[in-house]
Amino acid sequence: MNNPLLPADTPADTQPAVVDRHGHIAPIEDCLEFLNTGRPVRRRHTHEFGGPTDALDWFSARNLLHDDARRRLLARYVADPAAGAADLEIIRRTRDAMRGLLEATVQGRPVSPTDLRAVNRALRTHYVYVLVPAPDGVSLGHQHLGDPIGGALGRLAETLARELSQGTPERLRICESPDCTAAFLDTSRTGRRRWCDMATCGNRAKAARHRERRRQLAATGSSGAVDPTA
Ligand SMILES: [Zn+2]
């Protein structure tokens, strides 16, 4: 069935049978999790997309991909593995470019033009807003036009773009623990969080400081009294 709100020449396979149940804006938590994939976080390597179907699972689990689009893509990857490899490459490239913008922001330096171009490409996704019937009137949904992977990346890129330009970019951090590269949003009251997680990275840093203090005390032959102001 054609959607009267879409242009008449919109290909039928870009018209999902059901209007979207996912919200349009991806949560910042999902966006940061995406930017932390395939990296050392809290001494472990986080999930890396091992293949295109793995990436589809990741997007689906976060409501970034409709089931019908996922099924179509899975069939396409089986028929044409090169298409799957190309999608995986786009996913990783876009992620790395988004990560580049975030790191430049955290470090207060200009962004790389290459990263900016790649993220701007991801933002050029197509969807239309549609009103859909709801039990008490109507609600606002949307439909994607075109490539569903582009749609998923576009939504993640939009969340990052909004955070960097209109959100609280000064609250974005990269964990200071030497064996962790987690990007996170500091939601603490004071805004002075340095580690992605106090129970792991924060405690390890405290323990390391403590060991260093004891080592210095031993080296200077001190009786072991700790400077209470340290
Ligand atoms: Zn950390």
The rounded Å distance from CA 191 to ligand 1 centre is 16
The rounded Å distance from CA 174 to ligand 1 centre is 8
- Please give the average per-residue pLDDT across 172-181, as a whole number: 93
The rounded Å distance from CA 112 to ligand 1 centre is 25
Structural domains of the chain ordered from first start: 12-185 (1.10.3300.10)
| pLDDT tens by residue, 20-31 | 455 567 999 999
In DSSP notation, 55-101 reads: HHHHHHHTT-S-HHHHHHHHHHHHH-HHHHHHHHHHHHHHHHHHHHH
pLDDT range class, residue 203, cuts 50, 70, 90: confident
3-state SS of 92-133 is HHHHHHHHHHHHHHHCCCCCCHHHHHHHHHHHCCEEEEEEEE
The rounded Å distance from CA 42 to ligand 1 centre is 5
The rounded Å distance from CA 202 to ligand 1 centre is 7
- Please give the average per-residue pLDDT across 96-115, as a whole number: 97
Q: What is the pTM of this model?
A: 0.77
CA distance 166 to 60: 27
The yes-or-no verdict on residue 14 having pLDDT over 60 is no
pLDDT at 160: 96
Handedness of CA 186, 189, 190, 195 (dihedral sign): negative
CA distance 219 to 111: 44
Q: What tokens does 11 get?
A: 């290909």
The rounded Å distance from CA 199 to ligand 1 centre is 10
pLDDT at 4: 40
pLDDT at 40: 86
The rounded Å distance from CA 9 to ligand 1 centre is 50
